[in-house]
């Protein structure tokens, strides 16, 4: 059973920065993809940024040029550096780790951006 834990959320003013971290443990096989989704109140969960199985990155259009995802494969960790935060980035951010064909999710970390 893969266990995923996020950290680094909090309250920040518009224009500020936060760095989220995610660690996956307990995998019996290679973690072949990791990334971040978010869910704002009353909205559907959406992809923010992720590493695909092939190693490339993908970003939501709304965060391109502001957010950067990075990873440490040896430690099964990913980070999300968020700069130029906007009130519309307020959401619960969820990390996932993919082992074989199954995604494992963390409990989420709250990011609140005040205007």
pLDDT, tens only, 30-58: 888 999 999 999 999 999 999 988 889 99
The percentage of the chain sitting over the pLDDT mark of 70, rounded to a whole number, equals: 100
Instruction: Say how far apart CA 47 and CA 39 lie, in whole Å.
Output: 9
pLDDT for residue 75 is more than 90: no
For 112, the token pair is: 């609140």
For residue 88, the 8-state DSSP code is G
Average pLDDT over the chain, rounded to an integer: 95
At 86, the pLDDT band (50, 70, 90 cuts) reads very high
For 6-68, give the DSSP string.
EE--EEEETT--EEEEEEEE--SS-EEEEEEEEE-TTS--EEEEEE-TTS-EEE-TTTTTTEE
How distant, in Å, are the alpha carbons of 18, 40, 56, 74, 102 from that of 51? 19, 22, 6, 15, 15
Q: What pLDDT, on the 0 to 100 scale, is given for residue 55? A: 85
């Amino acid at each position: 059973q893969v266990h995923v834990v996020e950290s680094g959320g909090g309250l920040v003013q518009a224009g500020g920065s936060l760095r989220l971290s995610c660690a996956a443990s307990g995998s019996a096989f290679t973690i072949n993809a990791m990334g971040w989704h978010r869910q704002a109140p009353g909205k559907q969960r959406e992809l923010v940024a992720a590493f695909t199985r092939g190693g490339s990155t993908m970003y939501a259009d709304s965060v391109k040029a502001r957010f950067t995802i990075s990873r440490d494969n040896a430690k099964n960790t990913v980070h999300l550096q968020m700069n130029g935060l906007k009130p519309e980035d307020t959401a619960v951010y969820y990390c996932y780790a993919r082992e074989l064909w199954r995604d494992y999710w963390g409990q989420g970390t709250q990011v609140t951006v005040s205007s």
